[in-house]
Amino acid sequence: MSRLALLGGQPVRKEALPWVNTMGPEETAAVVEVMNSGCISAYYGRAGDRFLGGPKVLEIERDFSQKFGSRFAISVNSATTALHTAVAACGIGPGDEVLVTPYSMVASATVIVMNNAVPVFVDIDPETYNLDPCQIEKWITSRTRAIIVANIFGLPAALNEIMVIARKHGLYVIEDNAQSPGASINGKQAGTIGDIGIISLNYHKVIHSGEGGILLTDNPDLAHKCQLIRNHGEAVVDDLNDHETVVLGSNYRMTELHAAIGIEQLKKLDPFLLQRRALAERLTAGLKQIDGLKGVTIPEGYEHSYYVYPIQYSKEAWGISRDTFVQALKAEGFPMGTGYVKPIYWLPMYQHKRVYNQTQIPFSLIDNPIQQYVKGICPVTELMYEEKMIVADVCRLPYTETDIDDVLEAIEKIRSERGRLHEYETHGVSSA
């Protein structure tokens, strides 16, 4: 084996990867059509036929509802606003607790605080990195209203098991399916198994419209609430002389331009997933031959959508730290992320319980909280973040099977030279 690039040798990959661009002539034509129509957004923030948006917004909602087999699809301008809409539609508010994974993009928990409720973090499963159903019940109190389940990295959480627990305790399940459109359990689409689910259309996702979000639900009351929250609902219920519906609206509306892009991207979801799955399966097969690096584990009946590819690292098997391994891999031309994200409860907002001003609202609204945000409450999450998780973004366009083979070659090169890396790690230099 040749000398490691980190120690002065030639890297396995000589050129940087080309920039990703999943936009094609179809998206451009769709945008031009909207521009020529002059109708960039068609909403009115009051009751009437424009309350639900213009033609492209209605079309993207029909398309998502059909594709995902969900009775209602409601478009908004991001997955964060979609999640907040879902929390608000479920009637979650001050004094409530919501269970949530700490191993997700921060918005999964932020939206709880945005409605003045309090997140209670539930640890993850070490194989799937998703919320562990066995850990849920110990955190349920009389104040618990819902569970926000993130389907992380492209793999659905154990949603069937979680739904059983939720029904037993009368809790809503909100699926944060931002990362996993097209994933499924026994043929049922992720994002449609809980009471309400959301999808992100931000730039990083498998399909995107720059920014955007979609809510999916079969429940007509939740769907109606979502439409109200998206578009100044407190004025609309007044127009309708509806004095019963409790709603605080906002402007979470998607533009006609973003809808037009999203419509075209949705048509490409299946071919994009086909490519991602082929690359991921090659990587999984390669990793099976390498001690100390665990690829994805997919439960029976589940389909992964490979937003990113998580690899679990074993320092014991390699004799060097994860960070040195990733540094060596980066030098070979394959940058990868370490840890994914900090456990959310380690962030300053939770540590100091300061959100709006010097009060501790909403945290102070709870007497005798069941959880303190201290180290050790979710040990699996903390271990993944600190020692084990490596996030590889190699199972997407424009990577090819040759690139996957190059990644595996770089890993093998590092493995055979790990003695020298150990010296480098210990003394800052290597003998050869």
Ligand X SMILES: Cc1ncc(COP(=O)(O)O)c(C=O)c1O
* Interacting residues toward ligand X by CB under 6 A: 78-80, 104-105, 107-108, 150, 176, 178-179, 200, 202, 213
Nearer to ligand X, 107 or 260 (CB): 107
Which residue number, 44 or 346, has a Cβ lying nearer to ligand X? 346
Dihedral sign from CA coordinates of 127, 128, 130, 133: negative
Q: Which of 328, 272, 323, 317 is nearest to 291 (CA)?
A: 317
Helix, strand or coil, per DSSP, at residue 277? helix
Closest distance of CB 116 from ligand X, Å: 20
Question: In angstroms, what is the minimal distance from the CB of 349 to ligand X?
Answer: 16
The residue (of 51 and 172) whose beta carbon lies closer to ligand X is 172
Q: Tell me the closest approach of the beta carbon of residue 269 to ligand X, in angstroms.
A: 16
* Nearest residue (CB) to ligand X, 104 versus 324: 104
- Nearer Cβ to ligand X (347/370): 347
First to last CA, the chain: 13
Rounded to 5°, the CA angle 101-210-43 comes to 95
CB 319 within 8 A of CB 203: no
Can you give the length of the chain in residues? 432
**Residue 391 Cβ vs ligand X, minimum distance, rounded to whole Å:** 12
Instruction: Spell out the SS3 assignment of 154-190.
Output: CCCCCHHHHHHHHHHHCCEEEEECCCCCCCEECCEEC
Q: Nearer to ligand X by C-beta: 273 or 287?
A: 273
CA angle 304, 307, 312 (to 5 degrees): 80
Q: Which is nearer to ligand X, 104 or 189 (CB)?
A: 104
Least Å distance between CB 392 and ligand X? 16
> Rounded to the nearest whole angstrom, what is the least distance from the CB of residue 73 to ligand X in the complex?
15
Decide: helix, strand or coil at residue 211: coil
Nearest distance from C-beta of residue 202 to ligand X, angstroms: 4
Q: Over 338-371, what HEC string results?
A: ECCCCCHHHCHHHHHCCCCCCCCCCHHHCCCCCC
Q: Which of 290, 322, 338 is nearest to 425 (CA)?
A: 322
Cβ-in-10-Å burial (0-12, 13-18, 19+) of 275 comes to middle
